[in-house]
Amino acid sequence: MTPTLHVGIAGARFAARFHWKSYQKVTGTRVEVVGVTSRSPESRAAFAREFDVRSFDSFEELCDASDAIDICAPGAVHESLAVEAFNRGKHVIVEKPFTGYFGPGDESFRGDEFPKETMLKEALASCDRILKAAADSGKTLCYAENWVYAPAIQKEREILTKSGGQILWMMGDESHSGSHSPYYGIWKHSGGGSVVGKACHPLTAALSLKRSEGLARDGRAIRPATVSARTHEITRLPGFRDAGFLRTRYHDTEDYSQLHLTFDDGTVADIFSAELVLGGVHNWLEVFANNHRTRCNLNPVDALETFVPREELLKDVYVTEKIETKQGWSRPAADEDWQHGYPQEFQDFVESIRNGREALSNASLARDTIAVLYSAYVSAERRGQEVTVPL
C-alpha cells in the first residue's frame, strides 16, 4: 500500500478551508492534513479547532511534519514560503496569484503609482526563483488554479481536443462585489487588484485550453504572445455614488480590468474582471472555435432555480458565493466546490505528487499567467498599448 501523503497548510482562513475540504474527497491515495500554521495565532487556532488538526507555531515545524506544503497565505509570501518548503525537501502547492510584485518594502509604496515594467521584471524573477528551487529539490510544484479543473472547462477541453477544433476567440470573466479578505486591495499584500486577483482565473483557463489545442494537434503548446489592457478605479472616482452594496476602500488597486490577448498562432481572447458586479459571482468563459461554440458556465449554473417569497426562509441555506439576497428567484449551487473544480484539482495534485508527474496546472502555466498579468499592467500604464509577453 502506498504511504499516506502528509499535507501541511500555510494560511488558515478562506482558501485553507476549501483546500481542507477538497483533501477529504481525494480517492485512491490516503491523504492526511497534519496541521496548519498562519501568521495570526487566532486564525490558526480557530482552524485547528474546527477541523481537528494540529496548530503549528512555525512554518518550519509544519514542514518537518509534512510531505507537501499547501500555501494558502496572501500572495506576498508565496515565494518565500514556497522556496523554503522546497529547500526543506517538500512538494509544494501554491494558490493564485503564483507570485507577483509587492513593493520594495517601504511604507510609502503605492502599487498604482509604481513603474509597471519594474513590476513585470521583478514578478518574473520571483517566478524563476520558485521554479529554480523546485528544480533543485526535484519535488513537484502544483499551481492551484481551480478553473483549469472546473468540469465546464474540462468538458470543453475534451470537445476541443477530440473534435480537432481550433479556438479562434475566447471571452471570459470573473467578477463579483468585492473580496472578503482584508489583504485584498492593498498592493503590497495582494500584488495587484482585479487583474491579479480575478482575471487570473479565466485567463489561466484560456491559456490552458490553447495549450491543450496545440499539444493535441501539433505536439506543441500554443502560448500567449501579446496583451493590451485597461484598468480603472471606479469606486475611487470622486463622483462614485456608494449605494452600500459593493465593497469599497481599495487602497491602491484597480477594481475593473479588461485584457485583450493574442496567442502565438494569432488567435485572441478577451478577459474581463471587476469588483463592481452584483448578483453573486459571475464566472464564465465562452469559446468560439472553427467547429463549435461552448459557453462554460462555472457560477452561477441553473441546475436549480428556486423562488422564496421571504429571505428568512433560506437563512440556514447556502445559496451561492457572494449573492446579496436570497429573496425571490435564485440559483442555489447544488455543489459549488465541484462546479469550481476544487476536488478535481486536489485529486490531480495528489496523483501528480504520488506519481512524480506534472499536474495539469503546473509551474509553466503559472509562469505564463504571471507574465501576461504583469504585461497587462505595463499596457494599462500606457493606456492600452500592445505589449509583447516575455516568456
Q: Are strands 68-71 and 91-95 parallel, antiparallel or unpaired?
A: parallel
Nearer to ligand NAD, 183 or 288 (CB): 183
Nearer to ligand NAD, 25 or 382 (CB): 25
- Residue ranges with strand state E in the chain: 5-10, 31-37, 54-55, 68-71, 91-95, 141-144, 167-175, 224-232, 256-263, 268-274, 282-289, 293-299, 306-308, 328-330, 387-388
What number of other Cβ atoms are within 10 A of residue 251's Cβ? 16
Nearer to ligand NAD, 81 or 160 (CB): 81
Nearer to ligand NAD, 12 or 353 (CB): 12
- Are 387 and 131 in contact by the 8 Å Cβ rule? The answer is no
- Give the shortest CB-14-to-ligand NAD separation in angstroms: 4
What number of other Cβ atoms are within 10 A of residue 324's Cβ? 12
- Give the shortest CB-369-to-ligand NAD separation in angstroms: 12
- Give the shortest CB-97-to-ligand NAD separation in angstroms: 6
Residue nearest to ligand NAD (CB): 13
- Give the shortest CB-180-to-ligand NAD separation in angstroms: 7
- Are 128 and 386 in contact by the 8 Å Cβ rule? The answer is no
Nearer to ligand NAD, 14 or 169 (CB): 14
- Give the shortest CB-272-to-ligand NAD separation in angstroms: 17
Nearer to ligand NAD, 183 or 338 (CB): 183
Q: How is 223-236 classified by DSSP, letter by letter? A: -EEEEEEEEE-GGG
Q: Are strands 293-299 and 282-289 parallel, antiparallel or unpaired?
A: antiparallel
Q: Which of 123, 150, 368, 184 is nearest to 269 (CA)?
A: 368
Binding site for ligand NAD (CB under 6 A): 10-16, 37-40, 43, 72-75, 77, 95-96, 146, 181, 183
- Give the shortest CB-17-to-ligand NAD separation in angstroms: 8
- Give the shortest CB-193-to-ligand NAD separation in angstroms: 12
> Which grid coordinates belong to 341?
473544480
Nearer to ligand NAD, 73 or 199 (CB): 73
Nearer to ligand NAD, 22 or 294 (CB): 22
Q: Residue 67's beta-bridge partner residues?
A: none
Q: 79 — phi, psi (to 5°)? A: -65, -50
- Give the shortest CB-40-to-ligand NAD separation in angstroms: 4
What number of other Cβ atoms are within 10 A of residue 302's Cβ? 7
Q: Which residues contact 176 (CB under 8 A, 6 or more apart)?
A: 275, 277, 280, 281, 282, 321, 322
